[in-house]
Amino acid sequence: MRVAIVGAGPAGFYAAGQLLSAKGMSIEVDMFDRLATPWGLVRHGVAPDHPKIKSVTRVYELTAARAGFRYHGNVEVGRDVSHAELAGAYHAVLYATGAAGDRKLAIPGEELPGSHSASEFVAWYNGHPDHADHQFALDTRRAVVVGSGNVALDVARMLAVDAGELRCTDIADHAITALAVSEIEEIVVLARRGPAQASFTNPELRELAELAGVDVVVDPAEATLDPASAAMLESRAAGPATKNNVETIQRYASLRPAGKRRRIVLRFCISPTEIVGDERVEGLRAVTNELVVDDRGRIVARPTGETEVIRAGLVLRAIGYRAWPIPGVPFDESSGTIDNRDGRVTGQPGVYVAGWAKRGPSGVIGTNKKCAQQTVDLLLEDLTAGRLAMPSALPTTLLGRLRARGIQVVDYAGWELIDAYEKRCGERHARPRVKLVRRSQHLFHAAGPAG
Ligand code: NAP
Output the pLDDT for position 18.
Answer: 98
The pick from 103, 148, 202, 367 for probing ligand 1's pocket by mutation, whose C-beta has the most ligand atoms within 8 angstroms, reads: 148
In contact, 92 and 379? CB cutoff 8 Å: yes
Nearest alpha carbon, ligand 1 atom 15: 319
> In three state form, how does the secondary structure of 319-369 look?
CCEECCCCCCCCEECCCCEECEECCEECCCCCEEECCHHHHCCCCCCCHHH
Residue positions counted in the chain: 451
Give the C-alpha separation, 191 to 246, whole Å.
13
Site residues for ligand 1, CB cut-off 6 Å:
50, 105, 146-152, 154, 192-193, 197, 199, 201, 204, 271, 318-321, 361-364
Residue 158 phi, psi (nearest 5): -65, -30
Domain formed by 104-317, architecture: 3-Layer(bba) Sandwich (3.50)
Domain 2-100+321-410 has CATH 3.40.50.10420: no
Output the pLDDT for position 229.
Answer: 95
Output the pLDDT for position 240.
Answer: 92
Q: Which amino acid is at 51?
A: P
Nearest alpha carbon, ligand 1 atom 38: 150
Q: Which amino acid is at 425?
A: C
> b/e per residue, 77-97, with b = 16+ CB within 10 A?
bbebbebebbbbbbbbbbbbb
Mapped onto helix, strand or coil, the DSSP state of residue 46 is coil
Mapped onto helix, strand or coil, the DSSP state of residue 124 is helix
In contact, 416 and 442? CB cutoff 8 Å: no
Give the C-alpha separation, 113 to 129, whole Å.
21
Quote the ligand 1 centre to 80 CA distance (angstroms). Answer: 33
Give helix then strand counts, H and E, for the chain. 18, 20
Quote the ligand 1 centre to 338 CA distance (angstroms). Answer: 20
Give the C-alpha separation, 10 to 417, whole Å.
21
In contact, 132 and 436? CB cutoff 8 Å: no
Quote the ligand 1 centre to 335 CA distance (angstroms). Answer: 14
Output the pLDDT for position 143.
Answer: 98
Give the C-alpha separation, 55 to 195, whole Å.
31
End-to-end alpha carbon distance in the chain = 32
Output the pLDDT for position 449.
Answer: 79
C-alpha R_g of the chain? 23
Output the pLDDT for position 451.
Answer: 60
Q: What share of the chain is helix, strand, coil (3-state, %, to 5)?
A: 35, 20, 40
CA distances from 355 to 97, 340, 362 (A): 8, 12, 9
Quote the ligand 1 centre to 404 CA distance (angstroms). Answer: 43
> Where does the chain hold its CATH 3.50.50.60 domain(s)?
104-317
Which spans in 68-201 are helix H? 83-89, 118-125, 150-160, 163-166, 173-180
Output the pLDDT for position 236.
Answer: 76
Q: What is the DSSP letter of 272?
A: E
Per-residue pLDDT tens listing for the chain (451 residues): 999 999 999 999 999 999 999 999 999 999 999 999 999 999 999 999 999 999 999 999 999 999 999 999 999 999 999 999 999 999 999 999 999 999 999 999 999 999 999 999 999 999 999 999 999 999 999 999 999 999 999 999 999 999 999 999 999 999 999 999 999 999 999 999 999 999 999 999 999 999 999 999 999 999 999 999 999 999 877 889 999 999 999 999 999 999 999 999 999 999 999 999 999 999 999 999 999 999 999 999 999 999 999 999 999 999 999 999 999 999 999 999 999 999 999 999 999 999 999 999 999 999 999 999 999 999 999 999 999 999 999 999 999 999 999 999 999 999 999 999 999 999 999 999 999 999 999 999 999 876 6
> Where does the chain hold its CATH 3.40.50.720 domain(s)?
2-100+321-410
Nearest alpha carbon, ligand 1 atom 18: 105
- Burial (CB count within 10 angstroms: exposed 0-12, middle 13-18, buried 19+), residue 171: buried
Quote the ligand 1 centre to 200 CA distance (angstroms). Answer: 8
Quote the ligand 1 centre to 318 CA distance (angstroms). Answer: 7
